[in-house]
Structure 1
Amino acid sequence: MLSIGFVLSPGFQIMGLAAASAFELANVSADERLYDIRFLSELGGAIPNSFDIPIQTRALARQKLDTLIAIGALRPIPTSPGLIRQLRRVSSASRRTASVCTGAFILGEAGLLDGRRATTHWLYARELQKQFAKARVEDDRIYIIDGPIWTSAGMSAGIDLALGMIEKDFGADLARAVAQKLVVYHRRAGGQSQHSALLELDAKSDRIQGALAYARQNLGAPLSVEELAAAAHLSPRQFSRAFRAETGQSPAKAVEQLRVEAARVMVEQSRHSIDEIATQTGFADPERMRRAFLRTFGQPPQFLRRNARLTAAP
């Protein structure tokens, strides 16, 4: 049985404990106790979360753990020196140490990010890099594994991190079963973007949302304004006007965003060639896709593929 310790400080964000549910459901799915889940703090006792609801904890210093996970607050806040000393000591004897959201700042204070790649909520990534200059912060990753150190993006990304751990510990079938019970998409890859084109477009009407859904399902098609307008049951002129009013951009730009997002997932997770990916996601040729990647990510597809493989490496 593997012991999982969640390290809590006063004011921790309760959503960070969603990762605990993944380990709990791993036990349920396997019908045996694969994980022993513990809530820990500097001195033990009741620790209030961001809603001021107390959670009972044990003292961290007395623990022997397989995995240590630091849960962050709504924004980075200083951690007590005593907890940092305990975290550093217990981490040195653990197989892996992780953070959810701004918990990365706790690992940084303990010196555990020095010389390592790390991520956190995109809103605080620059601050993390500024405070811990020896870390290599990547602000657009769901989670990153660098040796024994795992760091994840904000809030719900802790579930992806937990599913990744379950998959490494007990295999993809168990991780998939847990994801199904959580009713989440089976584990977003660590290298996946923290941002979603559909979220950024934020269409309000059913017609424009329907056109965007149609576009995402048919990226290999030309996706002209006329085709999208037909999917929305509007004339091309009405559609273009309504689309720009709701999303703030043209249909052509939105389609490019959807294509880039889909292409990035394929670049990072599949073995398809760059030429094949360009064709499947509707880019006329690899050069056009490369230019779109440079505009969106500041890097060509080949760089993102190499980076994703480094992230996935043990």
Structure 2
Amino acid sequence: MERREHRVGILVFDGMKMLDLSGPAEVFSEANRFGAGYRLSLVSVGGKSVRSSIGVQVPVDADASDAPAFDTLLVVGGDALPTFPVDPGLGAAAADLAPRAGRVASICTGAFVLGAAGLLDGRRATTHWQHTALLARRHPEARVEPDAIFVRDGTTYTSAGVTAGIDLALALVEDDHGPDLTRDVARSLVVYMQRAGGQSQFSASLQGPAPQTPVLRLVQDAVQADPTADHSLKALAARVRVSPRHLTRMFRAELDTTPMKYVELIRFDLAKALLDAGRNATEAAALSGFPSYESLRRAFARHLGLSPTRYRQRFSTTGADGPRGPRT
């Protein structure tokens, strides 16, 4: 069967993150083994080879100014992009290539290149969580979503840090070829079906620095050690010998959340892992500490906008014989 060619142009530059290039490129390449027709071309300003973040010299196929129109334009990220102004030539290259592309996507801090090219104005966007505030300040016309894995706004896609580029590439493959081929790609690469774009960039247990207050560290340790235990506000406050009101004030002041929201996020992370491992929604609710399936369903609706059952069907790597983990 003849494959329709889909041209993917990847804009690279000195100091680019190697994984920002290699992760999505491997997804597209692997998709070709299952019937896709992606043709990858690397372009740079001036057509010169570039040196990656790990010191490897990467040759390119063309000067960005001479490149043909692409079906997908992908812009990688680099550590210098949030620190220094985007090179005018790099921004101009993106601005020139984007209108001729069917869709435009950035990986991690590549969003700063899109921003410099004026491609994020009036659009929703994201980048690595460490740099979302800076992206919002630098490009106030963009609507930055600080905790999304990736964001799609029309034909413009932006993604979070490094491995989120793999999630985004899988989402692009699914847009082109549907979920069945994409599951084959995910299993072959030994990754799960892509995470939902609105899913948090990191688990609740890893969000932000560890609290400085010993009381809060004790509470976090207790919740993480056994999410299924009694972690009502009254029980947590009694555990550390403070009043419920004082514990709530401490959480708000240092962690910008409440004890109950924190407990829910820990249980939510565990429930997702259980669903990924093949548990059904009722089992995941019981084993993660939610008092009922209905409370788990409400948590999923708040955080992902879909039900636990839909999450399990949509975002777990599955085969015809039911959910299973990636093949090794």
The answer to whether the superposition gives a TM-score over 0.5 is yes
Listed as ranges, the matches of 1:177-188 within 5 Å are 177-188=184-195
Residues of 1 paired with 2:32 and 2:296: CA distance? 44
2:58 corresponds, among 50, 55, 59, to 55
Sort the Cα spacing of 1:265 and 1:134 in 2 relative to 1 into closer, same or farther, 3 A.
farther
Listed as ranges, the matches of 1:1-20 within 5 Å are 1-17=5-21, 18-20=23-25
TM-score (norm 2): 0.66
Please report the RMSD computed on the Cα atoms of aligned residues, expressed in angstroms.
3.9
Q: Quote the offset at 1:96 in angstroms.
A: 0.4
- Give yes or no for contact 1:264–1:301 (8 Å, CA) kept in 2: no
Residues of 1 paired with 2:174 and 2:294: CA distance? 36
Partner letter of residue 50 of structure 1?
S
Q: Quote the offset at 1:25 in angstroms.
A: 0.5
Greater alpha carbon shift after TM alignment, 64-73 vs 49-58: 49-58
Q: Deviations over 1:98-119 (max 9, x none)?
A: 1000000000000100011000
Are positions 1:29 and 2:37 aligned together? no
Residues of 1 paired with 2:295 and 2:188: CA distance? 40
Residues of 2 paired with 1:136 and 1:286: CA distance? 34
- Give yes or no for contact 2:90–2:113 (8 Å, CA) kept in 1: no
Structure 1 gap segments, 5+ residues each? 202-210, 226-251, 267-272, 294-299, 307-314
Residues of 2 paired with 1:177 and 1:159: CA distance? 14
Q: Quote the offset at 1:262 in angstroms.
A: 5.4
Residues of 2 paired with 1:60 and 1:27: CA distance? 25
1:167 corresponds, among 164, 169, 174, to 174
- Give yes or no for contact 1:97–1:148 (8 Å, CA) kept in 2: yes
Q: Quote the offset at 1:79 in angstroms.
A: 2.7
Residues of 1 paired with 2:166 and 2:303: CA distance? 27
2:89 corresponds, among 42, 64, 82, to 82
Q: Quote the offset at 1:43 in angstroms.
A: 0.9
- Give yes or no for contact 1:278–1:285 (8 Å, CA) kept in 2: yes
Are positions 1:73 and 2:81 aligned together? no
The aligned length equals 253
- Give yes or no for contact 1:9–1:79 (8 Å, CA) kept in 2: no
Residues of 1 paired with 2:305 and 2:114: CA distance? 27
Q: Quote the offset at 1:282 in angstroms.
A: 3.8
Residues of 2 paired with 1:287 and 1:187: CA distance? 25
Q: Quote the offset at 1:304 in angstroms.
A: 5.5
Greater alpha carbon shift after TM alignment, 153-162 vs 257-266: 257-266
Residues of 2 paired with 1:255 and 1:5: CA distance? 44
Identity fraction in percent: 39
Q: Counterpart in 2 of 1:38?
A: 41
Structure 2 gap segments, 5+ residues each? 209-221, 232-259, 275-280, 307-328
Q: Deviations over 1:100-143 (max 9, x none)?
A: 00000000000100011000000000000000000000111110
Q: Quote the offset at 1:181 in angstroms.
A: 1.6
Residues of 1 paired with 2:285 and 2:223: CA distance? 20
Q: Quote the offset at 1:89 in angstroms.
A: 2.0
Residues of 2 paired with 1:134 and 1:83: CA distance? 20
Q: Counterpart in 2 of 1:102?
A: 109
Q: Deviations over 1:195-247 (max 9, x none)?
A: 1246569xxxxxxxxx99996xxx7xx5469xxxxxxxxxxxxxxxxxxxxxx
3-state DSSP class of the match of 2:305?
Answer: helix
Sort the Cα spacing of 1:285 and 1:184 in 2 relative to 1 into closer, same or farther, 3 A.
closer
Q: Counterpart in 2 of 1:193?
A: 200
Q: Counterpart in 2 of 1:128?
A: 135
3-state DSSP class of the match of 1:22?
Answer: helix
